[in-house]
Amino acid sequence: MKKTHIFLFCISLFFLSHLSGFAQKKDTLKVTKPYSIRFGIDLSKPLTSLIDNDKNGFEITADFRFKNRYYIASEIGYTNKTTAEDYINFTSKGSYIKLGVNYNAYNNWLDMNNEIYVGIRYGFSSFNQTLNSYTINQHGNYFDENINNTPIEYDNLSAHWVELLLGVKVETFKNLFLGASVSFNNLINSNDPDNFENLYIPGFNKRYLNKSGAGFNYTVSYQIPLYKKVK
């Protein structure tokens, strides 16, 4: 009987030691994710200025992961664009800021840190408009076109809007990301000058159907890890 007890005791120690080892291994396999701040620039703005001499500007991006799939995100930029249409030529110049949240819908594999995200932003722009020239509307073709080339400046303009974003970010090298996104904007308010509508708003871009807009960007960004948490 004594030998039987000793045998059972040894078997119990064997299983306990293996269960303990298994628990330790399981703990070591816990997945941790970096919580970091990431800064970047929009490459589409300088590339567009190389092709289109009537538009130049820049945009700086930043985001911070505050939960496993959620990021606080922001964009700050400046735009100077001249628009030439059939009967009007004007220049929009000013700065903007966007602030909101991204949700990463992509389920990363172990040690991956990529994103397929949806986001929402509140946008605000402070800008000036210069009406460079315009054609005075007149009936018939009897008289020559009457074009006014005297610039008219409108200062201290502003606009507010919300936008929905769809985008991706891919970690190409350690902590270095390439990204792209498209946005769909809806204007909340714009203080238009008398007799002239803000047809183009920095950060919001061109107005369609009075309140709609769209945009896109291509970004390169660098991540600065702050700490890690278990997924």
Q: What is the 3-state secondary structure (H, E, C) of 72-119?
A: EEEEEEEEEEEEECCCEEEEEEEEEEEEEEEEECCCCCCCCCCEEEEE
Per-residue pLDDT of the chain (231 residues; tens, 9 = 90+): 444 444 444 444 444 344 444 344 444 556 677 789 999 999 999 998 888 889 999 999 999 999 989 999 999 999 999 998 878 899 999 999 999 999 999 998 877 889 999 999 999 999 999 999 877 665 555 555 666 677 889 999 999 999 999 999 999 999 999 999 999 999 999 998 887 889 999 999 999 988 999 999 999 999 998 887 766
> How buried is residue 94: exposed, middle or buried, by Cβ count under 10 Å (0-12/13-18/19+)?
buried
Q: What's the pLDDT score for residue 227? A: 83
For residue 23, the 8-state DSSP code is: H
Rg (C-alpha) for the chain, rounded Å, is 28
Q: For residues 123 and 144, give the distance between their C-alpha atoms in angstroms, rounded to a whole number.
A: 43
> How buried is residue 14: exposed, middle or buried, by Cβ count under 10 Å (0-12/13-18/19+)?
exposed
Side-chain-side CA neighbours of residue 55 (13 Å):
17
From residue 34, how far is each of 58, 66, 119, 227 by CA, in Å? 28, 10, 20, 6
Q: What's the pLDDT score for residue 173? A: 94
Cα dihedral 201, 204, 208, 212 in deg (nearest 10):
-140
Which residues sit opposite 125 in a β-bridge?
A: 96, 159
Per the listing, tokens 């110049």 go with 93
Q: At a CB cut-off of 8 Å and minimum separation 6, what does 129 contact?
A: 90, 91, 92, 93, 153, 154, 157, 193, 196, 198
Q: For residues 181 and 133, give the distance between their C-alpha atoms in angstroms, rounded to a whole number.
A: 34
Other C-beta atoms lying within 10 Å of the C-beta of residue 34: 14
Does pTM top 0.85 for this prediction? no
Tokens in use for 98?
């966007």
CB 131 within 8 A of CB 155: no
CB 35 within 8 A of CB 65: yes
